[in-house]
């Protein structure tokens, strides 16, 4: 009996030790009022955001950021709005004690937050993001003498672009004449995300770099995946791609 209890206790201890440690980065006060806070951005951190009923929280991403899309775990418990400047997100809780996650995608980076209502007596009125440097955090810009063409595809090949590439700041899809599909991002759950895009002739440009995209016309779908080791330095190829960029 004693040995059984010992083994059970040992198994429980090992299970607890092996469990992943979840840690959130808490913003710090910017001055005398703790309700105005800032946080240093890191692509691998989850930012803690304390909210309160009947209180609105503004998340300010800063100059040069433009929000492409926002994913919210519980849209019934929290009201989220992207302001017209495309660099500020408004968050307002609707249910007491609610908790959820939110992911913000910009043309430069991905920002992950854990949002809760009522966890702190001092909710955040304003959260300002700071960055370690002025360079994009999601991906390093490609050098002028290189382009990233590392993309694989699967699905309806009638929608396959002539070329797919990125320059470190934006992703380009060059389609054959007469093909005008819609380009979507794909989030971590496999859902399609609407993107801000621009079109010049047969080339579609979307800001930023994502691991997955989908190209769609009606029920026809082509899946695109960004793969490693796809950078080209071939001068002829780079000149061809640069001629399409805008």
**What is the per-residue pLDDT for 43?**
85
What confidence score (pLDDT) does residue 178 get? 87
CA dist 190 and 102 (Å) reads 16
Task: Give a yes or no: residue 137 inside a domain.
Answer: no
Same domain (yes/no): 154, 83: no
Q: Could you tell me what percent of the chain has a pLDDT over 90?
A: 56
Residues 181 and 117 in one domain: no
Residue range 32-59: mean pLDDT, rounded: 91
Assess contact for 72 and 80: CB atoms under 8 A.
Answer: yes
Residue 168 has pLDDT above 70, yes or no: yes
Residues 106, 42: one domain?
yes
Asked whether the predicted pLDDT for residue 22 surpasses 90, the reply is: no
Q: 126 and 168 share a domain?
A: no
Is there a single domain that holds both residue 29 and residue 122? yes
Q: Give pLDDT tens digits for 56-95.
A: 999 999 888 899 999 999 999 999 999 988 999 999 999 9
60 within a domain of the structure (yes/no): yes
Three-state secondary structure readout of the chain = CHHHHHHHHHHHHHHHHHCCCCCCECCEECCCCCCEEEEECCCCCEEEEEECCCCCEEEECCCCCCEEEEEECCCCCEEEEECCCCCEEEEEECCCCCEEEEEEEECCCEEEEEEEECCCCCCCCEEEEECCCCCCCCCCCCCCCCEECCEEEEECHHHCCCEEEECCCEEEEECCCCCCCEEEEECCCCCEEECCCEEECCEEEEECCCCEEEEEECCEEEEEEECCCCEECCHHHHHHHHHHCC
Is residue 10 predicted with pLDDT exceeding 60?
no
Average pLDDT value for residue range 229-238:
90
Range of the domain at 176: 147-244
Higher local confidence (pLDDT), 183 or 24: 183
Alpha-carbon span 79 to 145, nearest angstrom: 45
Pairwise pLDDT comparison (118 vs 23), residue with the higher score: 118
Q: Is 220 domain-assigned?
A: yes
Q: Are residues 81 and 110 in the same domain?
A: yes
Same domain, 90 and 171: no
Q: Name the most confidently modeled range: 82-86, 92-96, 120-124, 175-179.
A: 92-96
pLDDT of residue 5 exceeding 70, the answer is no
Of residues 56 and 108, the one with the higher pLDDT is 56
Q: What is the mean pLDDT of residues 212-232?
A: 93
pLDDT, mean of residues 92-111 = 94
Residue 201 forms part of a structural domain: yes
Q: Are residues 32 and 121 in the same domain?
A: yes
Kindly state the average pLDDT of the residues 197-202.
Answer: 89
What's the pTM? 0.49
Query: 25 forms bridges with which residues in the sheet?
Result: 47
Query: Which of these three, 71, 101, 130, is where a domain ends?
Result: 130
In a domain, 89, yes or no: yes
Give mean pLDDT, residues 198-211: 90
**pLDDT at res. 187:** 82
35 and 79 part of one domain: yes
Task: Say how many domains are in the chain.
Answer: 2
In a domain, residue 9? The reply is no
158 in the same domain as 115 = no
What CATH number has the domain bearing residue 183? 2.60.40.2500
CATH code, domain with 38: 2.60.40.1080
Of 165, 154, 206, 151, nearest in space to 184 by CA = 206
CA trace torsion 167, 245, 206, 216 (10° rounding): -120
> Is 178 in the same domain as 227?
yes
For residues 100 and 164, membership in a common domain is answered with no
Domain end marker among 98, 130, 162: 130
Note whether 181 and 159 are within 8 A (CB).
Answer: yes
Residue 194 lies in a domain: yes
* 104-128 mean pLDDT: 92
Specify the higher pLDDT residue, 224 or 120.
224
Mean pLDDT of the residues in the chain: 85
In a domain, 13, yes or no: no
CA angle, 160 as apex, 154 and 165 as ends, to 5°?
95
């Amino acid at each position: 009996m004693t040995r059984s209890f010992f083994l059970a206790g040992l198994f429980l201890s090992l299970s607890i030790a092996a469990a992943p440690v979840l840690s959130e980065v808490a913003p710090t006060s910017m001055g005398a009022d703790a309700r105005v806070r800032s946080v240093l951005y890191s692509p691998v951190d989850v930012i803690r955001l304390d909210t309160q009923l009947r209180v609105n929280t503004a998340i300010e991403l800063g100059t040069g950021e433009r929000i492409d899309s926002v994913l919210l775990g519980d849209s019934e418990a929290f009201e989220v709005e992207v302001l017209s400047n495309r660099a500020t997100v408004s968050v307002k809780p609707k249910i007491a004690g609610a908790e959820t996650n939110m992911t913000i995608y910009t043309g430069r980076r991905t920002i992950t937050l854990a949002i809760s209502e009522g966890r702190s007596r001092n909710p955040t009125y304003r959260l300002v993001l700071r960055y370690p440097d002025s360079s994009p955090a999601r991906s390093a810009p490609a050098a002028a003498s290189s382009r990233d063409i590392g993309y694989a595809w699967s699905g309806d090949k009638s929608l396959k672009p002539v070329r797919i590439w990125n320059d470190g700041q934006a992703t380009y899809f060059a389609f054959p004449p007469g093909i005008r599909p819609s380009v979507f991002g794909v989030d971590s759950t496999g859902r399609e995300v609407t993107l801000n895009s621009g079109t010049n002739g047969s080339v579609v440009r979307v800001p930023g770099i994502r691991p997955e995209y989908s190209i769609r016309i009606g029920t026809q779908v082509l899946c695109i995946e960004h793969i490693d080791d796809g950078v080209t330095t071939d001068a002829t190829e780079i000149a061809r791609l640069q001629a399409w960029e805008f």
